[in-house]
Structure 1
Amino acid sequence: MGIVKTNRWIELYVDHYEEQSVQARYRQLFIQPLQSLFAYSTDQQLATYLQKIGLFLPKTRKSRLRRFLHSDCWTVAGEQFNALKQKWQGPNVPVFLLPANEEHKRLQAELGGKMGLGFPDGIVLFISGDIEENDLKALVTHEYHHVCRLWRTQETESSITLLESMVMEGLAELAVIEEVGEAYVAPWTKKYDGHWQEEWFVRYLEPNLLRKGRSHYKPFLYGDDRAGIPSMLGYYYGFKLCKAAAERSSKDTLAFLDEDAESVLRIGTET
């Protein structure tokens, strides 16, 4: 499959934009084709979820969408995907590139204006039309690494543990360092450098490491202000854990693709 020609979707949307039917056309072009990856009960439920995490909104200005069409993101992403597929001997999954909501506060502040979702059978990327080439390569690398690890581990949303989720995120960012460069790692990898508190691991993460089902441990992975759990806590610790494990074992991320999460934890915390 590889890169899906979502530019055709955007062209249809812009060329046939009508106020009366914009919502229906938006769902038809950008939501329905993704339902097989997400399996929400209705297209509107999926639309609400995707907009919440960063997909552009139906009433986005046509000029902004046209600017997106003039980018070379499909070429850049395709070249990176094909190179990694060959190097990692991974599956040939579809990759959907779609415009991001450039007014989305969390997307801009914590995720560098880009967002990706990786599944065993596909990748969805939300990006801006002026994304820098290496930032896009980094995003493709991160999400395709998820695909390859899920392909090997056969984990599901209900079976995956907090520890495995943390390790997946950490290894994916190590892959970014190897394939694109350290300058292009996600902002959350440095979020608590210089003021990390070991109490956070002992209090929030350690008792929940083997908790199963992503929906059951989201606060520990993403943070929760109301519960006092620092933002992106699981992500940050997962990266530091994997980086320590890689340095101590002298393995690269390809060698770690099949390593179970408990082994990564053991190697990364050895004293």
Structure 2
Amino acid sequence: MGVIETHSWLEEDAHAPEEMLMKKGLTKRKAAELYGYLKMFGMYSPSANTKKQTASLIKREAWKKMDILYKKYRTLWKGPSVPIYIFPVQESRGFFSNGFKKSGVSFRDEIYLFISDDEDAKEWEALFLHEYHHCTRMNLLEKDPEQYTLLDSIIFEGLAEDAVKEYCGNQYVSDWTKKYSGYLLEKLWNQHFKNQLHLKRQEARHDQLLLGRGRYPALLGYAMGYYIVEKYRKKYGTAAKEMMTLDAAVFIEDEQETES
């Protein structure tokens, strides 16, 4: 599969994203549901600036550059063949922002990337790498995504961003990896995480802890996952490619042995 030429979709239907997503073969209702979901992760809303954003991304060859990255990391990781859809990012938002505007969401069988035209191309690589790492790991694990637990989710995020550090450099790692001290994370682990690791994705508290909603600090679960993976890497010296196949429980074995 690889990168889908959504620039032609945008040139025709950027003003009507739900209709545009019907080019995937979706019904109008399914396209509307998908667009609502993607907006939560940073997909653009039509504005007077959308046409200009699209033209700028085309000029910067965003689709060609992302396809090169897809081929690079698919070969390196023996990753899956999946379609990758690129759209402008919602202005002034993005989960993985590091002073730039970018975001994305991945599934086992497809990836969506939301980018802006004012980014360092290496930021595009960091975003692509993060999302394709998720997709590759999902395909390597013999587990139904509906059965993923809070532990699975935080380790997914930690591993993906650890891979960004290894392949792109520390300067391209997201701000949330450095947001909280080790002391605070250890404290919050004991107070809120270690007895809740079984929570499934469908349970409300899963996302409260993962995303840092309500009384929890922003993106707490992401930061927690990175902290755990970083500790594991420092202790065992395992590279990102090798860690990708490990079960999430492996990363907290030392913690559990200490407690027992």
TM-score computed with the length of structure 1 as normaliser: 0.85
Which of 116, 141, 144 is matched with 1:156 structurally?
144
Which of 256, 267, 270 is matched with 2:243 structurally?
256
Change (3 A) 1:60 1:205: farther
Q: Which runs of 5+ in 2 are unaligned?
A: none
> Structure 1 residue 67: deviation in Å?
2.0
Structure 1 counterpart of 2:165: 177
The answer as to whether partners of 1:170 and 1:242 remain within 8 angstroms in 2 is yes
Q: After alignment, is 137-146 or 154-163 more displaced?
A: 154-163
Q: Which runs of 5+ in 1 are unaligned?
A: 15-21
Runs (4+) of structure 1 exceeding 6 A deviation are 108-111, 268-271
Q: Distance in 2 between matches of 1:219 and 1:191?
A: 17
> Structure 1 residue 193: deviation in Å?
3.1
Q: Does 1:101 align with 2:108?
A: no
Structure 1 counterpart of 2:45: 57
Change (3 A) 1:97 1:109: closer
Which of 32, 37, 53 is matched with 2:22 structurally?
32
Q: Does 1:66 align with 2:55?
A: yes
Q: After alignment, is 210-219 or 137-146 more displaced?
A: 210-219
Structure 1 counterpart of 2:64: 75
Which of 101, 104, 123 is matched with 1:135 structurally?
123
Q: Does 1:91 align with 2:91?
A: no
Q: Which amino acid aligns with 1:240?
A: Y
Q: Distance in 2 between matches of 1:154 and 1:35?
A: 28
Q: After alignment, is 46-55 or 95-104 more displaced?
A: 46-55
> Structure 1 residue 27: deviation in Å?
1.5
The answer as to whether partners of 1:221 and 1:233 remain within 8 angstroms in 2 is yes
Q: Does 1:244 align with 2:235?
A: no
1:48-71: per-residue Cα shift (whole Å, max 9, x none)? 232233111123432233222222
Structure 2 counterpart of 1:6: 6
1:151-198: per-residue Cα shift (whole Å, max 9, x none)? 011433420011011111111111111111111011111111376253
> Structure 1 residue 222: deviation in Å?
0.4
Structure-to-structure mapping, 1:195-234, within 5 angstroms: 196-216=184-204, 217-225=206-214, 228-234=215-221
Change (3 A) 1:241 1:107: closer
TM-score computed with the length of structure 2 as normaliser: 0.88
> Structure 1 residue 112: deviation in Å?
3.9
Report how many residues are paired: 256
Change (3 A) 1:108 1:178: closer
What RMSD in Å do the two structures reach over aligned CA positions? 2.5
Change (3 A) 1:86 1:184: same
Q: Which amino acid aligns with 1:48?
A: G
SS in 2 for 1:207: coil
Q: Which amino acid aligns with 1:220?
A: L
Q: Which amino acid aligns with 2:19?
A: Q
> Structure 1 residue 224: deviation in Å?
1.5
1:60-108: per-residue Cα shift (whole Å, max 9, x none)? 432233222222211221122111111111111111111011233x558
